[in-house]
Amino acid sequence: NAGVMQNPRHLVRRRGQEARLRCSPMKGHSHVYWYRQLPEEGLKFMVYLQKENIIDESGMPKERFSAEFPKEGPSILRIQQVVRGDSAAYFCASAIDRVTNEKLFFGSGTQLSVL
Amino acid sequence: GQNIDQPTEMTATEGAIVQINCTYQTSGFNGLFWYQQHAGEAPTFLSYNVLDGLEEKGRFSSFLSRSKGYSYLLLKELQMKDSASYLCAVSAGGGNKLTFGTGTQLKVEL
């Protein structure tokens, strides 16, 4: 029973390139959350998606960032024209339902480094 | 908005007991979670409190006082492997979106 799978674990990009981060939720989970973690800071909520729908994107920067969770395949967090400030660990979490006491299961994260 | 405060770091001795505090300010409180995160790894769920009182789970216990906006995580019989960051997170409003504190880095020494 695989957990939340994220790839790649490490991603290096030069300024101006695009970064694509993938997340496959746990089997049977249809709710996906993306968080960003900067050094010495807590996990910051970015976006919450269900299959084919963005439910809450209140934490997403207005430009260059987008997320999707298609009917088939993993959820994708896409960062266009990356800048050094985008360097961070990006964590994906999944849940089986949208009830308030449902714990989130986290992936191991993608460490993005922008040169 | 929400505000969550916890100490940045703590040090304790193997075999001892340590209490990690968390205070929060939020509206529409739905519950409080504690997660453990080892460096470079995924946060893993430790506990969930929605009612006042103590929840015990093996060596780990978590306490909540909603009126005071206060929680603590109690770790007993500390082991070296307990050295990690402990994240306090609050669920508020609809759904299970969590707001995290900055985490408390616990170092367990011999």
List of chain B residues whose C-beta atoms are within 8 Å of the C-beta of residue A40: 102
Q: Examine the pLDDT at B95 and tell me if it is beyond 70.
A: no
pLDDT value for B96: 67
What is residue A84's predicted lDDT score, i.e. its pLDDT? 95
Q: Does A5 touch chain B (CB under 8 A)?
A: no
**Higher pLDDT, residue A98 or B79:** B79
Q: What is A68-79 written as a DSSP string?
A: E--SSS-EEEEE
Tell me the pLDDT band of A98, cut-offs 50, 70 and 90: low
pLDDT of residue A77: 98
What's the confidence (pLDDT) of residue B1?
Answer: 65
* CA distance linking residue A47 with residue B88, whole number of Å: 19
Q: What is the DSSP letter of A82?
A: -
pLDDT digits 0-9 by tens, B12-53: 999 999 999 999 998 888 899 999 999 888 999 999 999 999
Q: Which of A43, A101, A108 sits opposite B100 (nearest CB)?
A: A43
Give the mean model confidence (pLDDT) for residues B1-14.
92
**CB-based contact B30 A101, cutoff 8 Å:** yes
Residue B78 distance to chain A (closest CA, Å): 24
Cα A3 to chain centroid distance, Å, stands at 15
Distances (CA, A) of B29 to A48, A67, A96, A114, B64: 19, 27, 21, 37, 12
What is the pLDDT of chain B when averaged over all its residues? 93
Q: Which amino acid is at A11?
A: L
8 Å CB contact of B33 and A31: no
- Give A4's contacts in chain B (Cβ within 8 Å): 42
Q: Residue A43 corresponds to which tokens in the numbers above?
A: 């996990």
Average pLDDT in chain A: 92
- Average pLDDT (A35-58) is 90
Whether A27 shows a pLDDT value over 70: the answer reads yes
Is residue B106 within 8 Å of B9, Cβ to Cβ?
Answer: yes
- Asked whether the beta carbons of B78 and B18 are under 8 A apart, the reply is yes
- pLDDT tier for residue B97 given thresholds of 50, 70 and 90: confident
Q: How far B102 CA sits from the closest chain A CA (Å)?
A: 4
Residues on B contacting A at a C-beta cutoff of 8 Å: 4, 30-31, 33, 35, 40-45, 48, 50, 87, 89, 91, 94-103
